[in-house]
């Protein structure tokens, strides 16, 4: 397995995304240049060492699980892509116990969105593509995930090596690098991105620009309690995270979506993040949520802000 997008370009032929075929190679090469991450050559070498194994079954709807011939040493190979943040994955008897129970987030999102059957989907800030595979499991025709991290792209291609499904792809791009393609997508997801954008309404406007009329935007983000118009703007870090610019109240978030021209705005879930959902594991050994909270008061972050709470808001493009 290597990082190869030739099959992806073939899928774009004759579609609204065909102009990408000329634009993406240079942008992808820029996203995967070795200066981006010193371990990228090592990860590429690990991808080349992944064994070809016979599969008995592939499950993407209820979980991401590949059953088949086990391989001694597979766990050690896959751990070379540490840290694994989104998952979990079950690959030929190896359980990748990721930092996040991303399946729990998907369980909160999936019941409230339009059917993905046959749809063209964009997933912005997709990480290693875990949710992209779950979208394929729901019948999506093509899922394009974008994330600027070379590590996450390598993790995606490691999973793609075993899953062998052409309908999901992760590109090493930020949203600003995605070619302008008005109306090309039926559904756009942005999960865990908004609070990292200096201008949240500009981000929402960018997401909307990719949607066809009647298409659906699925936004998942940190929120805080408060009235309409309130948002938390941390002076410094939030839960030890850098680049957290604004965390709105639910009412403020809904107002932002309305102001950006989206309609049928619905907050379908609000959940406080627990240490069961986000924590360190053997596959992600760095600090995680328990280290980000005040040890004497887990309702607050280590900086004294309200502990992480996340909302899912669904809306439609006019």
pLDDT at 2: 83
Compute the distance between CA of residue 116 and CA of residue 104 in angstroms, rounded to an integer: 18
Quick one: what percent of the chain has pLDDT higher than 70?
100
Query: Would residue 271 count as lying in a domain?
Result: yes
Average pLDDT, the chain: 97
Instruction: Tell me what pLDDT residue 37 has.
Output: 85
Q: What is the pLDDT of residues 159-218, one digit of tens each?
A: 999 999 999 999 999 999 999 999 999 999 999 999 999 999 999 999 999 999 999 999
Distant-in-sequence, close-in-space partners of 79: CB < 8 Å, separation ≥ 6? 282, 283
Residue 94 lies in a domain: yes
pLDDT at 1 over 80: no
Domain-embedded: residue 204? yes
What is the DSSP pairing of strand 100-101 with strand 86-87? parallel
- Mean pLDDT in residue range 52-59: 95
pLDDT of 230 reads 98
Q: How sure is the predictor about 41, in pLDDT bands with cuts at 50, 70 and 90? A: very high
Residue 36 has what pLDDT?
85
The per-residue pLDDT for 211 is 98
**Does residue 1 sit within a domain?**
no
Listed residue (180, 183, 81, 86) closest to 126, CA to CA: 86
Residue pLDDT, tens place only, 248-287: 999 999 999 999 999 999 999 999 999 999 999 999 999 9
Q: Pick the more confident residue, 293 or 37.
A: 293
Buried/exposed code over 90-120 (b: 16+ C-beta within 10 A; e: otherwise): ebbebebebbbbbbebbebbbeebeebeebb
Percentage with pLDDT > 90 across the chain: 98
Q: Is residue 11 part of a domain?
A: yes
Interval 219-235 mean pLDDT: 97
Please report, in angstroms and rounded to a whole number, the separation of the first and last CA atoms in the chain.
Answer: 42
Looking up residue 219, the CATH number of its domain turns out to be: 3.40.50.150
- Residue 158 pLDDT: 98
Name the domain count of the chain: 1
* pLDDT of res. 232: 98
Domain that holds residue 70: 6-317
Read off the pLDDT of each residue in 303-313 and give the average, rounded to a whole number: 98
Confidence of residue 92 (pLDDT cuts 50, 70, 90): very high
């Amino acid at each position: 397995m290597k990082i190869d997008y030739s099959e992806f370009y073939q899928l774009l032929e004759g579609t609204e995304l065909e102009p990408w075929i000329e634009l993406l190679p240079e942008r992808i090469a820029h996203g995967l240049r070795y200066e981006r991450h010193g371990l990228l050559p090592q990860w590429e070498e690990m991808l080349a060492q992944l064994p070809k194994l016979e599969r008995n079954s592939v499950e993407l709807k209820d979980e991401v699980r590949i059953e088949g011939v086990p391989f001694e040493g597979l766990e050690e190979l896959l751990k070379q892509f540490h840290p694994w943040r989104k998952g979990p994955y079950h690959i030929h008897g190896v359980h990748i116990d990721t930092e996040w129970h991303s399946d729990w987030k998907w369980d909160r999102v999936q019941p409230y969105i339009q059917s993905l059957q046959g749809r063209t989907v964009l997933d912005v800030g997709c990480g290693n593509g875990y949710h992209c595979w779950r979208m394929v499991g729901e019948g999506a025709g093509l899922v394009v995930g974008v994330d600027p991290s070379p590590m996450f792209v390598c993790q995606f291609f490691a999973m793609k090596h075993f899953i062998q499904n052409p309908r999901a792809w992760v590109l090493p791009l930020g949203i600003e690098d995605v070619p302008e393609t008005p109306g090309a997508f039926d559904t756009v997801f942005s999960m865990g991105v908004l609070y990292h954008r200096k201008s949240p309404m500009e981000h929402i406007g960018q997401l909307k620009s990719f949607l066809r009329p009647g298409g659906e935007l699925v936004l998942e983000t940190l929120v805080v309690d408060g009235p309409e118009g309130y948002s938390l703007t941390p002076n410094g870090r939030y839960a030890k995270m850098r680049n957290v610019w604004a965390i709105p109240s639910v009412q403020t978030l809904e107002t932002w979506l309305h102001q950006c021209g989206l309609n049928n705005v619905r907050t379908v879930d609000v959940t406080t993040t627990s240490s069961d959902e986000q924590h360190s594991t053997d596959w992600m050994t760095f600090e995680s949520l328990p280290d980000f909270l005040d040890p004497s008061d887990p309702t607050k972050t280590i900086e004294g802000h309200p502990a992480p709470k996340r909302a899912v808001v669904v809306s439609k493009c006019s």
